[in-house]
Amino acid sequence: MSKAIEKVVDAVDLETFIVSENEEEGKKTALTLMKELGFKDVDLVFIQFQGTGVRVRLRGYIYKPGDRYKWLLKEEE
């Protein structure tokens, strides 16, 4: 059975609020979170410190243009 994430064409965006002392700590925590979720290629799209932490938007890439998409590999077999 295939996993839903294998059908994602490009990337997964995540937006959340992370408790942190400052923007730099929040950035490090946000990037660590994405790595812990299994994303190897991550971009920080937006960050804003708001008193008790940061509002962040992150993008974890599943595929980039030119990658070998899993759904196409199944058709080739």
Domains of the chain and CATH, by start? 4-76 (3.30.30.60)
Q: For all residues of the chain together, what is the average pLDDT? A: 89
The answer to pTM > 0.85 is no
pLDDT band at residue 63 using 50, 70 and 90 as cut-offs: confident
- The residue-averaged pLDDT of 31-40 equals 96
CB 62 within 8 A of CB 12: yes
- The residue-averaged pLDDT of 5-24 equals 93
Alpha carbon 60 to its chain centroid, in Å, reads 2
Name which residue leads in pLDDT, 40 or 15: 15
Q: What is the CA radius of gyration of the chain?
A: 15
Asked whether residue 36 carries a pLDDT value surpassing 60, the answer given is yes
pLDDT band at residue 57 using 50, 70 and 90 as cut-offs: very high
